[in-house]
Amino acid sequence: MQVAIVLYPGFTSMDVIGPYEVFGRLPDTDVVFVAERPGLVVNDLRSLSINAVAGLADVPSPDMVLIGGGPGQAGQMADGNLHEWLRTVDRTSAWTTSVCTGSLILAAAGVLKGRRATTHWAMLENLAEFGVTPSKERVVIDGHYVTGAGVSAGIDMALTLAGLIAGDDMAQTVQLIIEYAPQPPYHVGSLDTAPPEVVENAWRVMSA
């Protein structure tokens, strides 16, 4: 199975690295980082780069495509080479997936129209602009589309999909290998649990 993880300038690292750690440990799976042009792609914090070893044209028919989110997502909403590639590979992919605001890119490309999907809480309602039904679920499966909510949800999405692809035993084995047993020190990981002042601070930081 070939998994193509899409990179673009300003991506959020954990959106793609979390799923990479899961999918890269599945048997008979080749994970390749792709971008419009091969080479180093810088993340949103401008302090980490991932080498995209292939251009979009070099990966014409992956079994799975995954695109993450991040502030750079805003620059990937116009129709162009990336959207055309997403539409093309979606026709033959077993799974088309996203993490965080990556689903907005899929939506803008037109592949999620009429589907349910999720994204980061701050952008959730924006999905409706593209004919997509927003869902507050952490992981949403609709047909061969699998979307994860914000950032850390990418690991949940990947493990869910790993179970469907390789079976529950293998998915659980990978979960143990990466010791994914979250025990966050604060109970503020969603709008439902975060107090108003924390939500206000989050909006301020994201808008800076």
* Catalytic residue ranges: 100
CB 34 within 8 A of CB 54: yes
Residues 6+ apart with CB under 8 A from 174: 22, 25, 26, 159, 162
Pick left, alpha or beta for residue 179 (phi over 0 → left; psi -120 to 50 → alpha; otherwise beta): left
Residue whose tokens read 């790993």: 162
The token duo for 94 is 């077993």
Q: Collect all residues with Cβ–Cβ distance below 8 Å to 21 and sequence separation of at least 6.
A: 155, 158, 178
Q: Which of 73, 133, 129, 132 is nearest to 105 (CA)?
A: 73
Residues in the chain, overall count? 208
